[in-house]
Every structure is written in structure tokens, then in C-alpha cells.
Amino acid sequence: MKANRICNFNPGPAALPLVVLEEIQENFLDFNGSGMSITEISHRSKHFDDVINDAVARTKRLLDLGDNFHVLFLQGGASMQFAMIPMNFLAENSTADYVDTGTWSSKAIREAEIQGKSIKVVASSADKNYSYIPQNIKFNADAVFVHLTSNNTIKGTGWAKFPDTQGVPIICDMSSDIMSKPIDAQKFGLFYAGAQKNVGPAGVCLVVIRRDMLGRVPDSVPTMLRYDTYAAKNSLYNTPPCFAIYTLDLVLKWLEDTVGGLEQMAALNRKKAALLYDFMDAGTFYRATAEPDSRSLMNVTFRLPDENLEQQFIQQALQNGLGGLKGHRSVGGCRASLYNAVSVEAVESLVDFMKTFERKSG
């Protein structure tokens, strides 16, 4: 029976490519002739080794990572990275720079502060409700890293270009835009992403770490919270989230083989975002909340003339097969998340619906 699927604009967990879901369904009871489901096989088996090695190889190819990077799969979500980063890299007498661009970067800052680490918040866009990305930031030369959030899922902003940190490695939360476009990996000491937006289901956090960063981990950090534990064992120190890694691998296969890589993905993502922003900019009924030069291509946040209309909009959109358009509870309004698996056609349907709704209500 054909499933009755909606156009899914959820912020995360979010839409996955239909072909990936179908492949999971088809192989679910008998993975690769093993006679077992992927959820039943040993993480020490050759079957799973092939999966994890393929996921690592695809991540390296897609992001054009040199041999000096490790690709790791951790649990605890992106939120656990907020705590692990200062724990692993901020030894006594060292300091780091953080940029505060909204909820998630504020949480990363808080986790360093809880541990009593020395950090400096070198820029913040809190003065304008995080509607922009700070520019011309003065970084500290003695910082051991600079922490950024590449895409601010809740506030709808993103870095169009990463800042020049004068050689200080960037550590970046890429949870909501990883694999949405090519990046210059050499700028980063580490980047990480909860998989559940662009690369898979919830349950695994993708971490890419430059090899030299591993030498900085103090002896006092517990085994499961150390990056070198995962790097030494190809993320198999203990039982990893096998199903989530398997799904992530299939999403990366789709990105490589069907989409054609990150340049092609970026072109599609630009097209989708332009469809929505250009439509809103042409009128006055819908108002994008982020400043134009700081707009996210992944999470388009917008307001309607009043909250009552926003509620009707979200409800009626769902009745028309367009789901997940409610803004985050902390900011209200509306948000359309246009992750990789959201098609151009889905965005066109959304714009068509927005036109109709405006005509009826405006």
C-alpha cells in the first residue's frame, strides 16, 4: 500500500529521502543476506564493519577531508558536544572564544561555564534578538579554539562565510546545515552535528576531528567523554547506535549517487531558499525574521500579521499536506525547514499554499 506522506518541513527530526526509507523497509528483515535485521546484528560483525567503514569513507569523500581527520559517531546528541568540547580542549590556563548567535550557541557557552572553564564571548547578536550574524569580530590570538554555530535552527540565521580566525581552529556546531554545501574543512579543528536534520535519524552525532586535536585531551577526562577513545576504536569502543549509523550511511549514499555531491546539493538548497525568501520579500503579508545578509538557507523563520493568523496558517497548511511549519516554542511564529531531503517541489507547493492563504486572509 502506498503510504500517505506529507511535505515535511519539520526542524528535526526531519524529512529523510524517500528512497532511503524504502531501502530500509526493503532490507529490514534480512540485512545483506545475513538472515537478521540491521537492528539485530552484532556491532562486531563484518556486516556492521562494512556499514561503519562505508559511512566514514562517504563522509570523507563528501566533505573532501584529508587523512588528518577522523570521522566519529557518538551518542548524547549535539548537546553532549557542548560539554565534551571544553572538557577535552580547555586545560588549565587555556582559554577559548565563543560567538553567541542564539539558543544553541548560548547552551554551548553555558556548558563551558558550568565546568568553570575560561572562555570569552567575543561577539553576540543578542541585542537584536539574534536576527543577524555578527561581523568584524576581534578574536583573541591566545584562544585554543573559536566556537561557532554555523546555522541557527531556531532564529533562522546562518554564516554565509566563516570568519577569519587568524589560524585559531574553529570548532563548529553544524547540526542543522552539515552536508548542505561544501566547506573548507582545513579551517576546523572539529565540527559536529546531531544527525537528525540533514544526515539521518536521531541517535547519532557525527563528529569530525582533526588528528592534532586529539593530543590535547587531559588525562582526567573519563573514557566515554574523550574523543581519543572513539578515534582509537573507529567509534566501536562500546556498542554504537547501529541503526542510526546505517541510516546515515544510506543518506550519504543518496547524496553521492543520486544528488551528485555537495555542490549539487548546495545549488538545490539555494534554489529552495530563494523560492521562499523571494516570494516573501515581494509582498508584506509574510515577513522573514532574519536580516537579509544573515538568512539561513535551512530554516526559514517568518511571521504573519498576527498570531491568530499564524495559528490558522499552520493548521490549514497541515490540512493541505504541508507539515511542521510551527516556529520554535521559544520564539513563536512560523518556520519552514528546508533540509536536504525536502524537494524543490515541496517548497513550490508551500509557496502556492502561502499565496492562496494570503488571498483568503490578507
Ligand X SMILES: Cc1ncc(COP(=O)(O)O)c(C=O)c1O
Q: Which residues are catalytic?
A: 104, 173, 197
C-alpha cell at 186: 582545513
Out of 173, 249, 310, 358, which residue is the one contacting ligand X (CB under 6 A)? 173
Q: Given the complex with ligand X, which of 176 and 289 has the nearer CB atom?
A: 176
Q: Does 153 bind ligand X (CB under 6 A)?
A: yes
C-alpha cell at 106: 548560548
* CB of 92 vs ligand X, minimal distance in Å: 27
Distances (CA, A) of 217 to 142, 178, 213, 227, 230: 18, 25, 8, 8, 13
Q: Does 104 bind ligand X (CB under 6 A)?
A: yes
Q: Given the complex with ligand X, which of 41 and 85 has the nearer CB atom?
A: 85
Q: Given the complex with ligand X, which of 78 and 231 has the nearer CB atom?
A: 78
In whole angstroms, what is the distance from residue 159 CA to residue 293 CA?
9
* CB of 153 vs ligand X, minimal distance in Å: 3
How many Cβ atoms from other residues are within 10 Å of residue 199's Cβ?
29
* CB of 361 vs ligand X, minimal distance in Å: 30
How many Cβ atoms from other residues are within 10 Å of residue 128's Cβ?
8
Stretch that binds ligand X, among 84-92, 132-140, 169-177, 241-249 (CB under 6 A): 169-177
How many chain residues are in contact with ligand X, going by CB under 6 A?
Answer: 11
* CB of 79 vs ligand X, minimal distance in Å: 3
Out of 12, 158, 189, 240, which residue is the one contacting ligand X (CB under 6 A)? 12
Q: Does 78 bind ligand X (CB under 6 A)?
A: yes
Q: Does 175 bind ligand X (CB under 6 A)?
A: yes
Cα end-to-end span (Å), the chain: 40
Q: Given the complex with ligand X, which of 172 and 214 has the nearer CB atom?
A: 172
* CB of 21 vs ligand X, minimal distance in Å: 21
Stretch that binds ligand X, among 71-79, 93-101, 256-264, 333-341 (CB under 6 A): 71-79
12: left (phi over 0), alpha (psi -120 to 50) or beta: left
In whole angstroms, what is the distance from residue 115 CA to residue 225 CA?
14
Stretch that binds ligand X, among 131-139, 158-166, 170-178, 278-286 (CB under 6 A): 170-178
Q: Which residues bind ligand X (CB under 6 A)?
A: 12, 77-79, 104, 149, 153, 173, 175-176, 194
